[in-house]
Amino acid sequence: MTKRILIFSLAYTPYVGGAELCVKEITDRFDQNEYSFDMVTLRFDRTLPAVEKIGNVTVHRIGFTAENVKVSDRALPWQIKLAKFLFPLTAFFKARSLHQEKAYDAIWAMMANQAGFGALFFKYTHPRVPYFLELQDGNSLRQVRARRPITILFWPLYRAIYRHADIIKTISNFIKDLAREVGYRGPIVVIPNGVDIAKFSAPVADEDTTESKKKFGKTMGDVFLFTASRLVLSRGIEDVIRALPFLPANVKFLIAGDGEDRGKLEAIAAKAGVAARVIFAGHIDHKELPSIYQLSDIFVRPSLVEGMGSAFIESFAAGLPVVATPVGGIPDFLSDPDRSPDTEPTGLFCNVRDPESVARAVKKYMEDPVLTARIVKNAKELAAQKYDWDLIAKEMREKVFEPLLKNGV
């Protein structure tokens, strides 16, 4: 008998981040005869259909609408701001209506945000339907309160998103600890996000690499640092920009992504005198990323906070050496030879908020090809052994859905 799952998610395709990509990659790998997925999500753009089948998920978009909305833009239209505020209630009422028609076997909340509140209200009124909460946000509780002050006002209700879950799945041990800090005492499963290993490890056609070099101005002798990220200051991008004056002039920084802090980052590059060495590529479609990784030499993202960071694993699979900070979920997969001499290295750590430390790590790769080759080899093996989406989907089925649906509440 087909099991019916209802997903609560504030955003979904085409507004895709790591969490949304996770939903699609996992649900696409489930047998449609065994599992059926519906999703309630916000209709950010009125040009998008209200109901749409995407892969194995039937997406139901709700809420006030606007046109050509960028989720990363802080100046969201008032309709969207109001729709986000009301989403816990509108999602609950939509879910209740869908449940009357389809009788769901379980609900899946993507994050402890507005989607989590919607799932909580559904759980209050349908206590016999198992509730699974997924956590991917790497912000500490202090940072959550600072970013969303309303959380302080509704703290008991926010805790209830966690405490009423029948099972919680996190993408890192760091987030698992955060869930315990909130007060959750039930089962927690740690399953990282995955990567399409075949896609990122496969050789890229010479013509694609040549085209990318022309597009981004890479010439003979250039060393390209690369990051793929939403352009917010918490990703530490400004520290890479400030590291450039400590590196040779042939080292340039290619940034894929967009976001509300792009203007600030451009100003930082200009003030540091390195604007000509920083390439803001804007949004790059995910299917084009393999050629960008192939073009680049070192992946650098000295994050201030990080739930996990799928781009690090993409870099592993693509054979790019990685520079990162030891924050959030990153130590789950990145081992530095100086900090963990008894473990095979998979990357180099730099200090948080320390451009000179970033530069030292980059120079170490540039000056020690033997160490670089060793790190790249270990990282590629780790990605293939642990982070392929097929493996992740299998873990989700065996460790989350089967126990949840078997045991119920």
**pTM, full prediction:** 0.90
> Residue 257 has what DSSP assignment?
B
Of 172 and 68, the one with more pLDDT: 172
Whole-number pLDDT of residue 147 = 63
How large is the average pLDDT for residues 152-156? 74
- Above 80 in pLDDT, residue 173? yes
d(CA 172, CA 136): 8
How large is the average pLDDT for residues 50-54? 95
What pLDDT, in 10s, does the model give residues 275-314?
Answer: 999 999 988 887 888 989 999 999 999 999 898 989 999 9
- Above 60 in pLDDT, residue 73? no
- Above 80 in pLDDT, residue 152? no
Whole-number pLDDT of residue 145 = 64
Please name each of the domains of the chain with its CATH number: 3-194+388-407 (3.40.50.2000), 197-386 (3.40.50.2000)
Whole-number pLDDT of residue 405 = 93
Band the pLDDT of 409: cuts 50, 70, 90. very low
> Quick one: tokens of 44?
């950010």
What pLDDT, in 10s, does the model give residues 200-237?
Answer: 998 887 777 788 888 888 989 999 999 998 888 888 99
Number of helices (H), then strands (E), in the chain: 17, 14
What pLDDT, in 10s, does the model give residues 74-124?
Answer: 566 778 788 888 999 999 999 999 999 999 999 999 999 899 999 999 999
Other CB atoms within a 10 A radius of the CB of residue 280 amount to: 16
3-state class (DSSP) for residue 52: strand
Whole-number pLDDT of residue 333 = 96
In terms of Cβ atoms closer than 10 Å to its own Cβ (0-12, 13-18, 19+), residue 251 is: buried
Whole-number pLDDT of residue 280 = 95
- Above 70 in pLDDT, residue 191? yes
Whole-number pLDDT of residue 84 = 87
How large is the average pLDDT for residues 242-264? 94
> Quick one: tokens of 215?
């597009």
What pLDDT, in 10s, does the model give residues 325-341?
Answer: 999 999 999 999 999 99
